[in-house]
A and B are shown apart, each in its own frame.
Chain A
Amino acid sequence: QVQLVESGGGLVKPGGSLRLSCTASGFTFSDYYMTWIRQAPGKGLEWLSYISMSGGIIYYAESVKGRFTISRDNARNLMFLQMNSLRVEDTAVYYCARVAESKHWYFDLWGRGTLVTVSS
């Protein structure tokens, strides 16, 4: 079954850290760019970061640059998002998604999301 499953969300205090994981199955993970996207409660979608097939190309949104780190392990079909210095405004559902084409960055497969709550 072709799917993405996020894990690692939870409650964390401001200034804390959390690492999210995205497990891919049913397709050749190493053939695709991947991305993280989040959605604050009742708000719209916000793109966060891309990682290329090998991990050699990485881009971040300005809102998370320097605090979040994207990475992947193709041998285990996993992608990660290390989140440091978390802020209340980072509270959101975090989705991992597959980038459909390396030259056209749209997202054809999404996970169900994992909720991150940053609160004291």
Chain B
Amino acid sequence: SYELTQPPSVSVSPGQTARITCYGEALPRQYVYWYQQKPGQAPVVVIIKDSERPSGIPERFSGSVSGTTVTLTITGAQAEDEADYYCQSADRSGTSGVFGGGTRLTVL
């Protein structure tokens, strides 16, 4: 089955830049989307189509692609950005959704 691979955890100090990667063999043929999930809450999409920011998402969130790896970057991370982050895409056929395993971001 198709997989997306993320690091389990990333830690940064407030104000630093956090980078979370997501690797998948089908990338870049399929777009990647990023979700933020805080404890006890449903996920919220923060990046769509690899690098677009939906309305209402702070400018410090950005996405980029390099070959088969996409990266979520949070420039000037804040304490409120501490959460689990998931990348999401589709398999090569586009008939099956897939999530990465998630990355816990600690801002401390």
Cβ of B48 and Cβ of A45 under 8 Å apart?
A: no
**A73 vs B86: C-alpha distance in the bound complex, in angstroms?**
30
A68 interface residue (CB < 8 Å to B): no
A107 interface residue (CB < 8 Å to B): yes
- Can you report 18 residue pairs joining A to B where beta carbons are below 8 Å apart? A35-B97, A44-B99, A44-B102, A45-B35, A47-B96, A47-B97, A59-B95, A59-B96, A100-B48, A105-B90, A106-B33, A106-B45, A107-B33, A107-B35, A107-B45, A110-B43, A112-B42, A113-B42
Size category of the binding interface on chain B: 20 to 34
A62 interface residue (CB < 8 Å to B): yes
Interface of B toward A, CB cutoff 8 Å: 1, 31, 33, 35, 37, 42-45, 48-49, 54, 84, 86, 88, 90, 94-102
A9 interface residue (CB < 8 Å to B): no
Cβ of A45 and Cβ of B102 under 8 Å apart?
A: yes
Size category of the binding interface on chain A: 20 to 34
A61 interface residue (CB < 8 Å to B): yes
Within 8 A of B (CB), among A40-55: 44-47, 50
Cβ of A62 and Cβ of B1 under 8 Å apart?
A: yes
Cβ of A108 and Cβ of B54 under 8 Å apart?
A: yes
- Looking at A37, A44, A45, A108, the one whose CB has the most chain B CB atoms below 10 A away is A45
Cβ of A46 and Cβ of B99 under 8 Å apart?
A: yes
Main SS class of interface, A: strand
A111 interface residue (CB < 8 Å to B): yes
Cβ of B86 and Cβ of A47 under 8 Å apart?
A: no
Kindly list chain B residues whose C-beta atoms are within 8 Å of the C-beta of A62. Answer: 1
* In the complex with contacts A62-B1, A105-B97, A106-B48, A45-B42 CB distance below 8 A: no
B89 CB to nearest chain A CB (Å): 9
Kindly list chain A residues whose C-beta atoms are within 8 Å of the C-beta of B49. Answer: 104, 106
**A50 vs B1: C-alpha distance in the bound complex, in angstroms?**
17
**A73 vs B100: C-alpha distance in the bound complex, in angstroms?**
31
Cβ of B98 and Cβ of A47 under 8 Å apart?
A: yes
